[in-house]
Amino acid sequence: MGSATCSNFRSSSLLPWRPSSQISHSLYPSKLRLPKLNRMNLDKDNLVVNNACGFNENGPLNWFPITPNKLFMQEAIGAEYGEGFETFRPDGPLKVDVDFLNDRLQEGFLKRIRYAMKPDEQYGLIFSWDNVVADTRALKLNAWKQLAYEEGKEIPVDGDMQRLMLHAGADHVMHKFLLWDEAESELERLKIRFSQLYYENLLTLEQPMEGLKEWLDAVSTARIPCAIVSSLDRRNMVEALERMGLKKYFQAIVTEEDGMESIAHRFLSAAVKLDRKPSKCVVFEDDPRGITAAHNCTMMAIALIGAHPAYDLGQADLAVAGFNELSVINLRRLFANNGSTFMDMQKQIVEKSPPKRKLTIDTIF
């Protein structure tokens, strides 16, 4: 019964929570004999279940569904060969890949006329949450420091080591960087506690990345639709956007509830929600893996220098130090020389070299 309540709480954060004291006692038999349980094991199990469901000793922990394995793992890039995700319809499953979306999301007659008059509206912008919309590096680093302090341990003071910690999964960080050789059950407890600390720090986040609001104002004036993708749950994502005053700028949100299995799948889901072809979308990323995922989806990629140095972001179509360096004209230039066959496979044309001139020597006798 306890595990079912936990799963129900995590699966939908929109349902109002009711304390167990309000449940009718008539649902249970008046005389129910339970076997005697070891007190220490019972307290330990209750602690794990409560923490996993977002509770502490004082009650619910800010409505946070704690999913450490989903939040702090290194996701697959995806779409290496153009594959997409699978959706379900009444007539059966439908596999949605990159080519399928580029073909099905073609503009109709009226849209082509509109885009001819207002070409900027044909694009779609996709923003990653981490270090693009919000500076989550500080949130994660503070969570690791708080966890280490609670456990009486230390984290490396080396800047490069800390940077690597922010881009690796929680399991990898504990084993390789922090060298915390704990039992498996203890590691699960530490990951859950780390997730709680991260969510608590998330409540203090009120400012977006510098220059982002002005950039979103510019693209909103140009009527370019925007989407945001993240592994956070929808409730916390929407609340964070509202605190930062950014919710009105995003027409689509892709979160944990969408069930995407890779970075590329999130980008494709965002393109579907924006009703834009993947080949007409621009992804804003700070991670080389995200840039690769965008290119696998035939999307353009603009990299923000900061979490990774510029030389790690060389594969991006454009790399900038901040949003204040961008203008809408930059988006037009990205697609200026693409035409309708952008990123289609083409045969390499080998030009025949001109015939060599034969040199003759005139001999005069």
- Predicted confidence (pLDDT) at residue 363 exceeds the cutoff of 80: no
Question: How far is residue 18 from each of residues 5, 9, 23, 59, 116, measured CA to CA in Å?
Answer: 11, 10, 8, 11, 54
- Average pLDDT score over residue span 72-97: 74
3-state secondary structure of 204: coil
Q: Which amino acid is at 215?
A: W
H/E element, 282: strand 281-285
Q: State the residue for tokens 């104002």.
A: 217
- Predicted confidence (pLDDT) at residue 320 exceeds the cutoff of 80: yes
Question: How far is residue 302 from each of residues 37, 127, 279, 286, measured CA to CA in Å?
Answer: 57, 10, 14, 8
Residues in the chain: 365
Q: CA-to-CA distance for 252 and 271, rounded, in angstroms?
A: 9
Report which of residues 355 and 10 the model is more confident about. Answer: 355
3-state secondary structure of 42: helix
**What's the confidence (pLDDT) of residue 301?**
95
**What's the confidence (pLDDT) of residue 137?**
86
| Mean pLDDT computed over every residue of the chain | 75
Model pLDDT for residues 25-73, shown as the tens digit of each residue: 444 344 434 344 343 443 434 433 333 334 443 334 444 444 444 556 6
Structure tokens of 235? Answer: 């409730």
Q: CA-to-CA distance for 174 and 73, rounded, in angstroms?
A: 12
H/E element, 341: none
Model pLDDT for residues 98-129, shown as the tens digit of each residue: 988 888 888 888 888 888 898 899 999 999 99
- Predicted confidence (pLDDT) at residue 215 exceeds the cutoff of 50: yes
**What's the confidence (pLDDT) of residue 155?**
77
**What's the confidence (pLDDT) of residue 194?**
85
**Rama region for 131: left / alpha / beta (φ>0; ψ in -120 to 50; rest):** left
- Average pLDDT score over residue span 288-312: 92
